[in-house]
């Protein structure tokens, strides 16, 4: 059962843009020590769109070696090319990941039957669970309720990361939640509302800077302390909004570097923040004691 606060982990880079594996190991150990319930690598926050397949493979292999089954590891194996998604998914499945996160086919923007085949073809060829990733704001396309209903019946499709930000849509798929099909909030600003609909937790950007607090927010809700969970949601809301004042993962890397974590920069076309947005982020961080 995947649940709790799963960090959508940044990929740290050296100054020359190469992957900083020493820093990646530090981040993984820091998250495990601070209560993060699971690790997602190669998600949107992990910048896999500007990394080569060989680099992707090396990040997954290294993460599996360091984590060594202490918490679940999810690998983002998505692509807008179904065959590429199949190839990557099979490779990471063989590496022993606990689940795969597969995204809707961005740019191609297939019809719903194409969407269904896009995910089904992957799930048919792997042995580990597959999590659907619905984030139309990034991909330009989304899964219909009917498509999710059909895909949820596949024995290896175990859940959905719902990142549309549309509570009405989440309500409409919430009836699908059961022991073998879970929902995760893909938006940090609505963790508590999503859990009230039955979500098992969050796949989180906020957890990069606040792993223990994000874990606690989810854990309190699961223990029945809704007020305590909501208080944390509200406390970190301004920071959450600041972490998305420019495209993810630019602000969260800026925040981690300001905290002294040394995760490095980004690969083009991502570019450092505008100064006004940087100051907004720093002010939000000060409010919650990160600076």
List the catalytic residues: 133, 161
Beta bridge partners, 182, equal: 159
Q: What is the C-alpha separation between 217 and 192, in angstroms, rounded?
A: 8
With contact defined as beta carbons under 8 Å apart, do 153 and 119 qualify?
no
Asked if the bond preceding 249 is cis, omega within 30° of 0, the reply is: yes
Q: Left (φ > 0), alpha (ψ -120 to 50) or beta: where does 157 sit?
A: beta
User: Do the beta carbons of residue 184 and residue 202 sit within 8 Å?
Assistant: yes
Q: DSSP E strands: which ranges in the chain? A: 4-8, 38-41, 73-76, 99-103, 130-134, 157-162, 182-185, 201-204
How far apart are the C-alpha atoms of 261 and 257, rounded to whole Å? 5
Tokens standing for residue 100: 């795969």
Helix H or strand E encompassing 58: helix 53-67
Q: What is the dihedral of CA 134, 3, 260, 49, to 10 degrees?
A: -30
CB atoms inside a 10 Å sphere around CB 269? 8
Q: How far apart are CA 215 and CA 233, in angstroms?
A: 11
């Amino acid at each position: 059962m995947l649940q709790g606060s799963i960090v959508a982990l940044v990929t740290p880079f050296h100054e020359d843009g190469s992957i900083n594996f020493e820093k990646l190991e530090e981040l993984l150990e820091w998250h495990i020590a601070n209560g993060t319930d699971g690790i997602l690598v190669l998600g949107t926050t992990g910048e896999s769109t500007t990394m080569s397949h060989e680099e992707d493979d090396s990040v997954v292999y290294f993460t599996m070696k360091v984590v060594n089954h202490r918490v679940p590891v999810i690998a983002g194996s998505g692509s807008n090319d179904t065959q590429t998604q199949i190839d990557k998914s099979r490779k990471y499945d063989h590496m022993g990941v606990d689940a795969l996160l597969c995204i809707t086919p961005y740019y191609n923007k297939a019809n719903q039957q194409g969407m269904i085949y896009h995910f089904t073809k992957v799930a048919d060829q792997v042995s580990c669970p597959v999590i659907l990733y619905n984030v139309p704001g990034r991909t330009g396309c989304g899964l219909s309720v009917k498509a999710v209903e059909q895909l949820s019946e596949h024995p290896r499709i175990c859940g959905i990361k719902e990142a549309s930000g549309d509570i009405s849509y989440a309500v409409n798929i919430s009836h699908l939640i059961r022991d073998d099909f879970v929902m995760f909030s893909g938006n940090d600003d609505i963790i508590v509302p999503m859990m009230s609909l039955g979500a098992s937790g969050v796949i989180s950007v906020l957890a990069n800077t606040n792993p223990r607090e994000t874990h606690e927010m989810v854990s309190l809700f699961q223990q029945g302390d809704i007020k305590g969970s909501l208080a944390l949601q509200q406390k970190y809301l301004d920071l959450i909004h600041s972490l998305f004042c420019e495209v993810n993962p630019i602000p969260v890397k800026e925040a981690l570097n300001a905290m002294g974590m040394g995760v490095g920069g980004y690969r083009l076309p991502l570019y450092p923040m505008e100064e006004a947005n940087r100051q907004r982020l720093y002010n939000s961080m000060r409010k919650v004691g990160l600076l």
